[in-house]
Each structure stands twice: as structure tokens, then as C-alpha cells.
């Protein structure tokens, strides 16, 4: 399943271009459907939300069933094993502790002449989270979305997730949400959920920001409502890049490539190594390990589309190659991996050493797994507490301080042709 190519060849250049193009969200047919959905929900509210949810998910759902009840949450607890709740508790604790370290406080400073400057940092009031639970049950993405919002102090967190055909939400999703203190869950997903959270309906109050993963319909919808509300980022297909040398275990590397490829056919699993022999070992291990996995079809398609081992001259070239791709996840499985850490400039998450698989980062380590994809790690960051905070500048001048800067402000305003700005300064000193 894994292709093996030498870098700096036409074949490698074509594959590299194909990998970089994955981040471009362009599909006119999907965009057309999304815009119609957004318009319908904006105009019709819950009626449109239910119509689309019936069509796509639960044919018999009604408006009165749109919000998950306390009774449904209670029933969900009876359907999940205690080991799941223990795992959620472990993950939640680690994620909370990591994100608490990101908290910052408002500040003010007193400058010359009694000038006071500062930054006031406050949480957003209301946030919406859209998370898949039918096509893929992404309980971990729910944790990664709602926990940082809670740490930031967001007052209201609403979760939208698609129901199953029987009108119920997956019990694992309900229990995970409840364990994180979420009491507002709605049975809708896709573009209609994004529209409901952005514009508000009778049953789903509008939010200030929408976060969370989802398919292309969700991503296009988030892109369309941006500006009306804020969004976290546009999430493309997942990806992993492993830099490995001859000291790495080919079975470990193969397992980690598979762990990303199983998400779907658009996912990228990339190995960069100076050893063709090692790449051949990984290729064989991928075949063996993938054979028995339930998502075999997804794996096969992902490796056929984007599964590649690039052969480089040395680890320095591998690092430069990784920086060019700017992967979502980057694993360093090389001798003395921390020696290379400072050279990695572009990556959503860096996992160092053979016992730091991407899977531990996805679920329980603590850092957020909602990461920039499609080369966006060149400029973007993981979801964090900062995504749920807003900053307000504070400015307070005394009369003497204002008098000192008035000539400069007047000159700048006059150059820009904004005489009103200049007058607003001068009027305060006319009596003088």
C-alpha cells in the first residue's frame, strides 16, 4: 500500500504538490448545497433544521426532540461501561491541566504623565461545538473542544451532534459531554447545525463562536458564516508525517501511519527516511498490520491516495522536507530526537521518540488534537484557551499627557486628511 519514492525526482515533486493541495477547500457542488442549507435555516429556523436532520440522519425526529433531555443523558450512563467513564476522567484531567497553563490575566501599566494602558482579557459568553458522532464517533474531539472553553471561563457551551436513525444520540457522546459538565446538547449535525448556531433558532440560541471538526459540508458552512460569528479553523483531512532512521522500529512506524490513514481516504500517511531498506520494512509491516483491521477499505484508499515513503539523503533533509509540508502531526523517531526538535518550524504537534505515538496525543496526553491541517501549520496553531478569549485594549490619558502628544496626533491626522481627528485633539486645549 505504501509508495516509495526518492526526493528531488519528478514523481516525488508531483506527490509533494498533491499533498500540499489537500488543504484547499474547493468544491462548488458542496458549496451550493451548504449555501442553500444556511439560507433555509436562517429563514425558517427549527423547521429547516428538522427537515435536513430527517433527510440526513433521523427520519422521524421532531422539533420537541431537538434538545437532549436529562432523562436521555441518564439512560446513556446505563449503556456505557465504567471503563469508558474512567478513561474519560483520565483524559479530561490531563487536558484540563495542560490548558490551565495557557491561561493569562488582564494587565494594566502606568506610564509617564499618569497614562494608563492595558489589556482586558475576558472569555467569550457563548460557544457552539459541532462534533461528529455517526459517520465517525469523535468523543475525543468533543473533549478537545469543550474543555479549553470551560478552562477559559466560557459561560455557555452548546454541543450539536447528529442523532442516529432511532433519534438518539450515541450514548458515549452523551456521557462524555456530561462528564465535561455540558448540559446543552442538540440532535443535529452538518451544515444545518452550523447555521442554527450561527443565526439562532427558537430552540438553539445563537453563539459567538463555532468550533469543532466535521466533514466538508461542516467546514464550508463554517467558512460561510465566518464574520457573522467567529470560527476556530477550517479542518481538512488528517495527516501524519514520521521522520525515522534505522534506529526506529518499522512496526511502530507502520502502526502510527495506519492510525491516521484509518480516518478516511483523504488522510495522508507520510514516512521520510534516509533508508530505503527501512522504508521497505515499513511497507511490509503496513500490509501485515492493515490486513486484520476493520477499516481496511479506508486504509487502502488512504495509502493509495497519499501514503508515501520519501527517501532523503539524511535527517537534515528530512526535517527541511517536513517543514515544507507543515504536517498536522509530526513524529520524530530518530536517534537523539531532541537534538532535531529546534529545527522543526512547521508542525501542528510534534511527538518525540518511539513511545510517543500520535494516538496518545489524540486521546490522553493533554495538548489539543484539533490542529492545523493542509500546510496551515506554517501560520496556524492548535486549538487553545486563547481561542475562547477576547482582548480589549485599555487607554487612559491625563490632560498633561494628552497635551504632550497632541502635536504629533494632529500632524498624522492632517496627513491622512482626517481633520475631525485633529479637531478632537485640539478642542481640548482651546481655552488654554
Helix (H, G, I), strand (E, B) or coil at 51: helix
Contacts of 156 (CB under 8 A, 6+ apart): 125, 126, 127, 184, 205, 207
* Total count of residues recorded for the chain: 432
DSSP string, 184-231: EEEE--HHHHHHHHHH--SSS---SEEE----HHHHHHHHHHBTTBEE
CB 242 within 8 A of CB 333: yes
CB 195 within 8 A of CB 188: no
Q: Which runs of consecutive H residues, i.e. helices, occur in 353-416?
A: 358-363, 399-415
Place of cell 455540558: 182
Give the residue numbers annotated as catalytic, written as ranges: 328-329
- E strands, 232-364, are 239-244, 268-273, 307-311, 329-333, 349-352
Place of cell 486645549: 429
d(CA 125, CA 200): 15
The count of other CB atoms within 10 Å of the CB of residue 402 is 15
Question: Which strand (E) or helix (H) includes residue 128?
Answer: strand 126-130
Amino acid at each position: 500500500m505504501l509508495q516509495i519514492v526518492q526526493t528531488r525526482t519528478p514523481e516525488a515533486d508531483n506527490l509533494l504538490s498533491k499533498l500540499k493541495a489537500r488543504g484547499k477547500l474547493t468544491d462548488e457542488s458542496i458549496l451550493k448545497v451548504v449555501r442553500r442549507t444556511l439560507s433555509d435555516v436562517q429563514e425558517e429556523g427549527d423547521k429547516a433544521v428538522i427537515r435536513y436532520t430527517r433527510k440526513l440522519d433521523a427520519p422521524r425526529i421532531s422539533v420537541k426532540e431537538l434538545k437532549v433531555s436529562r432523562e436521555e443523558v441518564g439512560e446513556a450512563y446505563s449503556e456505557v461501561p465504567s471503563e469508558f467513564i474512567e478513561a474519560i476522567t483520565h483524559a479530561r484531567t490531563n487536558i484540563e491541566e495542560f490548558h490551565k497553563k495557557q491561561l493569562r490575566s488582564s494587565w494594566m501599566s502606568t506610564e509617564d504623565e499618569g497614562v494608563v494602558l492595558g489589556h482586558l482579557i475576558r472569555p467569550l459568553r457563548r460557544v457552539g461545538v459541532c462534533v461528529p458522532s455517526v459517520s465517525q464517533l469523535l468523543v475525543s474531539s468533543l473533549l478537545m473542544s469543550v474543555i479549553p472553553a470551560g478552562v477559559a471561563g466560557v459561560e455557555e457551551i452548546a454541543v450539536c451532534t447528529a442523532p442516529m436513525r432511532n433519534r438518539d444520540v450515541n450514548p458515549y457522546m452523551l456521557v462524555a459531554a456530561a462528564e465535561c459538565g455540558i448540559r446543552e446538547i442538540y440532535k443535529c449535525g452538518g451544515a444545518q447545525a452550523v447555521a442554527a448556531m450561527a443565526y439562532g433558532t427558537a430552540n438553539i440560541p445563537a453563539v459567538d463562536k463555532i468550533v469543532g471538526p466535521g466533514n466538508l459540508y461542516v467546514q464550508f458552512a463554517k467558512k460561510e458564516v465566518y464574520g457573522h460569528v467567529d470560527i476556530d479553523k477550517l479542518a481538512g483531512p488528517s495527516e501524519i508525517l514520521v521522520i525515522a532512521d534505522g534506529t526506529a522500529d518499522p512496526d511502530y512506524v507502520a502502526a502510527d501511519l495506519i492510525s491516521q490513514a484509518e480516518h478516511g481516504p483523504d488522510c495522508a500517511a507520510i514516512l521520510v527516511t534516509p533508508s530505503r531498506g527501512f522504508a521497505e520494512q515499513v511497507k511490509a509491516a503496513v500490509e501485515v498490520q492493515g490486513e486484520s483491521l476493520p477499516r481496511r477499505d479506508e486504509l487502502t484508499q488512504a495509502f493509495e491516495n497519499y501514503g508515501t515513503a520519501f527517501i532523503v539523503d539524511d535527517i537534515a533533509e528530512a526535517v527541511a522536507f517536513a517543514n515544507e509540508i507543515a504536517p498536522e502531526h509530526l513524529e520524530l523517531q530518530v536517534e537523539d530526537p531532541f537534538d532535531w526538535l529546534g529545527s522543526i518550524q512547521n508542525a501542528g504537534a510534534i511527538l518525540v521518540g518511539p513511545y510517543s505515538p500520535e494516538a496518545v496525543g489524540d486521546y490522553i496526553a493533554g495538548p489539543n488534537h484539533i490542529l492545523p491541517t493542509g500546510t496551515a501549520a506554517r501560520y496556524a496553531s492548535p486549538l487553545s484557551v486563547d481561542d475562547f478569549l477576547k482582548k480589549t485594549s485599555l487607554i487612559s490619558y491625563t490632560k498633561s499627557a494628552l497635551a504632550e502628544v497632541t502635536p504629533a496626533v494632529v500632524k498624522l491626522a492632517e496627513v491622512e486628511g482626517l481633520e475631525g481627528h485633529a479637531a478632537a485633539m485640539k478642542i481640548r486645549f482651546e481655552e488654554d
